[in-house]
Amino acid sequence: MNSSRFVNRLQGDMPKIGIRPIIDGRRGGIRESLEEPTMNMAIACAKFLSENLRHSNGLPVECVIADTTIGGVAEAARAAEKFRKEGVGVTISVTPSWCYPLETIDTDPFMPKAIWGFNGTERPGAVYLASALGAHNQKGLPAFSIYGKDVQDMGDSSIPEDVQEKLLRFAKAGLAVATMRGKSYLALGTVSMGIAGCIVDESFFQDYLGMRNEYVDMTEFVRRMERGIYDKEEFERALAWTKENCHIGADVNPPELKRTDEQKEQDLETVVKMTLIARDLMIGNPKLAEMGYEEEALGHNAIAAGFQGQRAWTDHFPNGDFMEAILTSSFDWNGIREPFIMATENDNLNAVTMLFGHLLTNSAQIFADVRTYWSPEAVKRVTGHELTGPAAGGIIHLINSGPAALDATGEQTINGQPAMKPFWDITDDEVKKCLDATKWCPAVDFFRGGGYSTDFTTRGGMPMTIARINLIKGVGPVLQLAEGYSVELPEDVHDVLDQRSNPTWPTTWFVPKLTGKGAFKDVYTVMNNWGSNHCAVSYGHVGGDLITLASMLRIPVCMHNVPEDQIFRPSAWSAFGVNEPVGADYRACSTFGPLYR
> pLDDT band at residue 123, thresholds of 50, 70 and 90?
low
Structural domain 16-180, CATH architecture: 3-Layer(aba) Sandwich (3.40)
120 has a pLDDT exceeding 80? no
Residue 130: strand, helix, or coil: helix
Binding residues: 345, 369, 534
- From start to end of 287-411, where are the E strands? 302-307, 331-332, 335-336, 342-344, 366-374, 395-399
Active-site residue, from 86, 103, 251, 369:
369
Q: For residues 60 and 51, give the distance between their C-alpha atoms in angstroms, rounded to a whole number.
A: 8
Does the annotation count 345 as an active-site position? Answer: yes
CA 530 to chain centre: 19
**CATH 3.20.14.10, the chain: domain bounds:** 184-592
Per the document, the length of the chain is 597
> pLDDT band at residue 401, thresholds of 50, 70 and 90?
confident
Active-site residue, from 345, 455, 488, 545:
345
Binding residues for Mn(2+): 345, 369, 534
Residue 592: strand, helix, or coil: helix
Q: How far apart are the first and last CA of the chain?
A: 42
Whether the ω angle into residue 468 lies within 30 degrees of 0, i.e. cis, is no
Mean pLDDT of the chain: 96
pLDDT in tens, 308-366: 999 999 999 999 999 999 999 999 999 999 999 999 999 999 999 999 999 999 999 99
Dump the DSSP string for 250-289.
Answer: ---S-GGGPPPHHHHHHHHHHHHHHHHHHHHHHH--HHHH
Question: What's domain 184-592's superfamily in CATH?
Answer: L-fucose/L-arabinose isomerase, C-terminal (3.20.14.10)
**CATH 3.40.50.1070, the chain: domain bounds:** 16-180
Residue 192 · residue 346 · CB < 8 Å? yes
Does the annotation count 262 as an active-site position? Answer: no
**Using alpha carbons only, what angle is made at residue 453 by residues 447 and 454, rounded to the nearest 5 degrees?**
160
pLDDT in tens, 139-170: 999 999 999 888 787 777 789 999 999 999 99
What phi and psi, each to the nearest 5 degrees, are found at residue 455? -135, 115
pLDDT at position 156? 78
Task: Read off the pTM.
Answer: 0.97
> pLDDT band at residue 136, thresholds of 50, 70 and 90?
very high
Residue 462 · residue 455 · CB < 8 Å? no
What value does the mean pLDDT take over residues 265-278? Answer: 98
SS3 per-residue string spanning 428-447? HHHHHHHHHCCEEEECCCCC
